[in-house]
Every structure is written in structure tokens, then in C-alpha cells.
Structure 1
Amino acid sequence: MGIKKKLGLGVASAALGLSLIGGGTYAYFSDSVETNSTFAAGTLDLNAAPTTIIDVTNIKPGDTMLRSFDLMNDGSLDIASIDLLTDYTVIDAKGDNVNDFGDHIRVNFLVNADKHDVPVFSTTLSELKSMSPDVIKGNIFTPWFHERGGNLAAGTSDKFWVQFEFVENNEDQNEFQGDSLELKWTFEAMQGEGEAK
């Protein structure tokens, strides 16, 4: 074995030895702890009772129909606002309607049972159908929530009062004889602002 091979073998052995010494002497104190966390989302659960708010027959111009129903928060989160979406279908019994029956049904929204004669907001079904949810919220639900401390708290319910009126306009309304209107209201609940927990 030549001198070059012996030197090369010696350098390789020295390098290997240094790496083993360096690796074997690396030591430190250590400790660990394990934690567990849970994130459970709350629920929004708005219900109404009864779900059929009004079911009347044989109405005529000038008739008014006062109804109430309960809006219930069956969820675990407070409801801070509600949107109302309106849709309806008119069944034209004779096929002669020129006008929309929804233009002739006024809706008077009332804050509570003590204020039947003072609606907080009045509009026709046809206008209500085309209104922005923000307009409805501001005119109908803002006063209603105001009387309840600003929200519908989880696990509570409250009455909502509404009066329907077949408007007597002192004009010929014969085209609506025998007609019916099927109304669908969808109440959509929203949570309040987030908060520090």
C-alpha cells in the first residue's frame, strides 16, 4: 500500500471518527405536553307557529283580517335580524284579470297586540314582493326587535302581529270575484356580530 493510499485512508477514517464523535455527543433536555381544543358552532333555528298564518274565504273589498303568530328562536344563538321574502300566486277564476290581485291586498305590520290601530309599516303584497330585504328589515323588524331589547334571544319566542286588508278603492273590482291568492312568506334569520369569547 502506497503512501498516498495510507494518507487517503487515514483522512477518511479521521473524518468518519469526527462525525461519529460529533453525532454521539449532541444531547439536550426536553419535555412535551399535549393539549386538546374544541370548537363547537352554535345554531340558528327560527320557527313559526302556526305555519299557516291566514286561510280565509269569501273576502270582499273592505274586509280586514288580523292575525298573530309566534316567531321562535329554537337555536343556541341570538337572532339579531330577520329578512322577509314574499312570493304569491294569483289564481284567476274567470281568466279576466287585468290587474294584480296583490295590488289590492294591503298588509299592515303591527309591533304588538296593544298597537293594532297603529301599524309600523303598511304596504301591498305586490310592493312587498319587490322590496329589498334591507327596506323590509328597517321598516318591519327594526321596531319589532327594538321592543325586545335588540334581538330574539336563544330559546325565546314572541308574537308577530299582521293585519291583511282587501282594499276598497271605490272602483270596479269585479275582476277579482272568485279569485284566490296563495301567499308564501319566508323568514330568514341572521346572527349578530361576532364577539370575543
Structure 2
Amino acid sequence: MSIKKQLGLGVATAVLGIGLIGGGTFAYFSDTAEASSTFAAGTLDLAVNPEVIIDVDDLSPGSWMIRAFDLENNGSFDITEVLLSTSYQVEDAMGDNTDDFGKHIRVNFLENNDKSENEPNDIIYSATLHELQQITPDAVEKNVIGFENEISGLPAGTKDTMYVEFEFVDNGEDQNQFQGDKLKLNWSFEAR
């Protein structure tokens, strides 16, 4: 083998050896860190107590009854408004109705005990069931002028006690068409 070949082979071996040594002893510093997050949404949890506000038999024109019920905020957020949606179905017992029975049942929201100014029967809203079907009033809005008691809305962990009067309005006219009729009322409360 010629000296040129031996030198070339020697240089190649040396380069390979240096490459292995350098590659095998390559060192560096490293460090890692982690971070995590949790996102939990709050809750809106509105309850009505009792769930059946009223069941009435033997109504006659001019009769009325008062019922109390609670709107409860069992969630973690304050509720700014509770919209009341009304729907009803009339069962015409004799098939002779020429008018809507819901136009003759008036609902007087007498008092929101937590928002009133200690005035009994301070009517805060009055409408027939027929009229209530067309609108969505706020059940926890403070409609009474004054500075006492709580403001509009329903804070988390609280309740509002509502007093409501249901009245079969005596319009002074013949209302015989409603004898034996039944009206099934559904109230839906939407918290926002």
C-alpha cells in the first residue's frame, strides 16, 4: 500500500474517530415546566315551589283565591330577570263557547314580598290569562317605587315569595257558556 493511501486511510480513520467521540460526548442542559387550567362554568338553577301553584274547582263569576309561591335561585350566578311565559288550553264542556275562557280569568300579581315596601296587596301587575299569553313580564323586577327591600333580580342563594290572586271576572253579563269548562294553565319561568 502506498504512503498516500495509508495517509488517506489514517486521516479518514482519525476523522471518523473524532466524529464518534464528539458525537458521543455531546451534552446540553434542559428543563421542562407544565401549566394547566380548569374552567368551570357557573350555574343558573331556578326552582318554583310549589310546582303546582293552584288547582281550583267550582269557580263562579266573581270568585277569587290567593296563592303564594317561591322563585328560588339555587345556582351560583345572580339572576337578573325571570321571564314568565303563559300558555293555557280550554276544555269546552258543552261545546258552546263563543269567547275564550282565558279572557275571563284575571291574574293579579299582588306582591313580591321581597321587593315590596311592606304594603300588603300592592298590585304590581294585573292581566287576564289571554293578555299574559301575549307578553313575557319579568317576575323578579322591582316595580314598586321606594328604596327599601331588595332591587330587581334574584341573587344567588335567595328566593322571592310571590302572592298572586286568580279571579274569575264577573263582567255583569251572561257567562253561562263557561259552565263546566276547564282551563289548564302552564307557566314557564326563564331565568337570565
With the shorter chain as reference, the TM-score category is 0.7 to 0.9
- SS of 2:102's partner is helix
- SS of 1:111's partner is strand
- Name the amino acid aligned to 2:112: N
Inter-partner Cα distance in structure 2 for 1:188 and 1:144: 19
- Name the amino acid aligned to 1:189: A
- Name the amino acid aligned to 1:33: A
Residues 43, 85 of structure 1: CA spacing in aligned structure 2 closer, same or farther, 3 A cutoff? same
- SS of 1:141's partner is coil
Residue of structure 2 equivalent to 1:143: 142
Contiguous gaps of at least 5 residues in structure 2: 1-22
Q: Is the 8 A contact 1:111 1:144 kept in 2?
A: no
Report the Cα offset of residue 123 of structure 1.
0.6
Report the Cα offset of residue 153 of structure 1.
1.9
Inter-partner Cα distance in structure 1 for 2:39 and 2:81: 24
Cα displacement string for residues 140-184 of structure 1 (whole angstroms, at most 9, x for unaligned residues):
432269943333122222211111111111011110111111100
Question: Is residue 117 from structure 1 mapped to residue 116 from structure 2 by the alignment?
Answer: no
Larger radius of gyration between Structure 1 and Structure 2: 2
Residue of structure 1 equivalent to 2:100: 100
Residue of structure 2 equivalent to 1:177: 179
Residue of structure 1 equivalent to 2:75: 75
Q: Is the 8 A contact 1:68 1:161 kept in 2?
A: yes
Residues 115, 66 of structure 1: CA spacing in aligned structure 2 closer, same or farther, 3 A cutoff? farther
Residues 49, 43 of structure 1: CA spacing in aligned structure 2 closer, same or farther, 3 A cutoff? same
Report the Cα offset of residue 27 of structure 1.
9.1
- SS of 2:142's partner is helix
Q: Is the 8 A contact 1:61 1:168 kept in 2?
A: yes
Inter-partner Cα distance in structure 2 for 1:144 and 1:54: 24
TM-score, scaled to structure 1? 0.75
Report the Cα offset of residue 31 of structure 1.
4.0
Report the Cα offset of residue 99 of structure 1.
0.2
Residue of structure 1 equivalent to 2:165: 163
Q: 2:191 aligns with which of 176, 189, 192?
A: 189
Contiguous gaps of at least 5 residues in structure 1: 1-22, 191-197
Inter-partner Cα distance in structure 2 for 1:144 and 1:76: 25
Q: Is the 8 A contact 1:85 1:186 kept in 2?
A: yes
Aligned Cα root-mean-square deviation (Å) = 3.4
Inter-partner Cα distance in structure 2 for 1:62 and 1:129: 22
Q: Identity rate of aligned residues, in percent?
A: 52
Inter-partner Cα distance in structure 1 for 2:120 and 2:58: 23
Cα displacement string for residues 33-64 of structure 1 (whole angstroms, at most 9, x for unaligned residues):
21111101111111111111011111111111
Question: Is residue 128 from structure 1 mapped to residue 132 from structure 2 by the alignment?
Answer: yes
Q: Is the 8 A contact 2:70 2:161 kept in 1?
A: yes
- Name the amino acid aligned to 2:141: T
Instruction: Give the structure with the higher percent helix.
Output: 1
Report the Cα offset of residue 121 of structure 1.
1.1
- SS of 1:187's partner is strand
Inter-partner Cα distance in structure 2 for 1:130 and 1:111: 22
Report the Cα offset of residue 28 of structure 1.
7.8
> Paired residues, what number?
181
